[in-house]
């Protein structure tokens, strides 16, 4: 069960975006597993993609199409990653775009393909082709929640956020959906995320907005330390609200940036709360560092440590595992005698050794909670970074052992 997470009851429409879903028997015969997003003309789009060297065919095609044209459609399938599929997989991704473009009356490079699921299997092209007329006929601006469901794989709940804000004297809508539960240590974004606003933003500025938002949200989460071959995050600005931001000195840009950051942060944390087999939501804060890079590296070493994560699952205050993870990370750049470590409000290590005030009972009480903060103070600077992670449970092993069966 996800940790303190319920799926949204509804998600708000964004003017200029319509969505549709249907069942193409890619993931499951009993649920929708393919989604189409239609983007109105004159919109701006920005995207970030996985840095995995074995990036999937749809990532390669989407990046190329985005560099050539402004997208009008996104095609997303769940259940098949179309990764590790060589020339055939690349050609299938291109063919999806060509066939959909013919169906919808646009150019093939105005379609961005996205896939998520099992690696190394070919797309069922006939099933996908047969879904296009259904998708075209059912496009609606009220299908955000349906799409959040359709793009899931091992997610137990759909993930989505809607915000209504005021920019100047205009009401502006932001809605985002994401999928992700395992194979999560994004090195750009999350497994898949789609965020739209009816604010108008210059395309160059929109890229800056997205990269800033991703860096503090999707690039600060970890379920298992594995970066997917298919990670992608898309930000759409339709301009239908009649708000137009074209200058980076526009004060409205700062406000919009903060709201986009907030949506991305909520979606990113939803992924951790729904981590495969997760029973705990953990914030790892490393502060007092000489550099942000040092703090981030140490935070990730804690967040990815199997020994720390299994201790969290067992509610075991085995703080030796935490100091071992801290000590192996850039050891030459830290002074062990200055380090303090806290579990929530409980100090467990002070000046590099067990705090005199620490008791096993106090540590046990904290580790038994569903939400825990592990805070490391390096005592050598002003920098701070936070990473969100979860525990590693029996169910994580079971889910991934049975994933293809």
Residues marked active site are found at 190
- Are the C-beta atoms of residues 78 and 117 closer than 8 Å to each other? yes
Residues in Cβ contact with 215 at an 8 Å cutoff, skipping those fewer than 6 apart: none
Are 219 and 261 in contact, with CB atoms under 8 Å apart? Answer: no
The residue to which tokens 């390096």 are assigned = 378
- Cα–Cα distance between 67 and 345 in angstroms, integer? 49
Longest dimension (CA), the chain: 72
The tokens of 59 are what?
């990532």
User: Are 198 and 172 within 8 A, CB to CB?
Assistant: yes
CB-based burial, 17-46: b 16+ in 10 Å, e otherwise: bbbbbbbbebbeeeebbbbbbbbbeebbbb
Q: Which residue has the tokens 């000590």?
A: 327
Distances (CA, A) of 348 to 320, 366, 397: 10, 11, 30
Q: Is the dihedral of CA 116, 71, 143, 214 positive or negative?
A: positive
Rounded CA-CA distance 150/117 in Å is 12
Q: Give the burial string for 129-164 (b: 16+ CB within 10 Å, else e).
A: eebbeebbeebeeebbbbbbbbbbbbbbbbbbbbbe
Structure-token pair, residue 5: 């997470």
Strands (E), 67-156: 73-80, 111-118
Measured between alpha carbons, how far is 245 from 109 in angstroms, rounded to an integer?
A: 26
Q: If you compute the radius of gyration of the chain from its CA atoms, what whole number of angstroms results?
A: 22
Extract the runs of DSSP E, i.e. beta strands, from 71-150. Answer: 73-80, 111-118
């Amino acid at each position: 069960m996800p940790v303190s997470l319920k799926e949204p009851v509804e998600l708000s429409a964004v003017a200029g975006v319509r969505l549709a879903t249907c069942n193409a028997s890619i993931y499951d015969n009993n649920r929708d597993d393919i989604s189409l997003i239609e983007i109105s003309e004159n919109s701006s789009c920005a995207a970030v993609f996985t840095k995995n060297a074995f990036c999937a065919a749809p990532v390669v095609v989407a990046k190329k199409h985005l560099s050539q044209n402004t997208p009008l459609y996104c095609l997303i399938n769940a259940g098949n990653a179309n990764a590790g599929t060589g020339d055939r997989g690349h050609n299938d991704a291109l063919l999806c775009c060509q066939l959909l473009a013919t169906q919808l009356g646009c150019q093939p490079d105005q379609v961005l393909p996205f896939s998520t699921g099992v690696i190394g299997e070919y797309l069922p092209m006939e099933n996908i082709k047969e879904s296009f007329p259904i998708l075209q006929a059912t496009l609606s601006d009220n299908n955000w929640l349906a799409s959040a469901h359709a793009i899931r794989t091992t997610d137990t709940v759909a993930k989505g956020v809607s915000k209504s804000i005021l920019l100047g004297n205009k009401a502006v809508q932001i809605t985002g959906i994401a999928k992700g539960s395992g194979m999560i240590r994004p090195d750009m974004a999350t497994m898949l995320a789609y965020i739209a606003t009816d604010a108008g933003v210059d395309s160059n500025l929109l890229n800056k907005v997205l990269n800033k938002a991703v860096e503090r949200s999707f690039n600060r989460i970890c379920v298992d330390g594995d970066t997917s071959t298919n990670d992608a995050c898309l930000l759409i600005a339709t301009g239908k609200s009649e708000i137009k931001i074209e200058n980076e000195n526009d004060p409205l840009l700062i406000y919009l940036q903060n709201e986009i950051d907030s949506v991305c942060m909520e979606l990113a944390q939803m992924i951790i709360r729904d981590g495969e087999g997760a029973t705990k939501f953990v914030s790892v804060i490393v502060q007092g560092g000489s550099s942000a890079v040092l703090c981030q590296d140490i935070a990730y070493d804690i967040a990815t440590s199997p020994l720390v994560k299994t201790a969290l699952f067992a509610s075991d205050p085995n703080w030796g595992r935490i100091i071992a993870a801290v000590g192996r990370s850039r050891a030459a750049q830290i002074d062990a005698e200055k380090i303090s470590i806290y579990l929530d409000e409980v100090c467990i290590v002070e000046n590099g050794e067990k705090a005199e005030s620490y008791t096993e009972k106090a540590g046990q009480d904290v580790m038994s909670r569903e939400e825990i903060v592990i805070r490391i103070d390096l005592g050598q600077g002003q920098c701070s970074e936070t990473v969100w992670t979860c525990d590693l449970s029996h169910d994580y092993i079971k889910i991934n052992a049975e994933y293809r069966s």
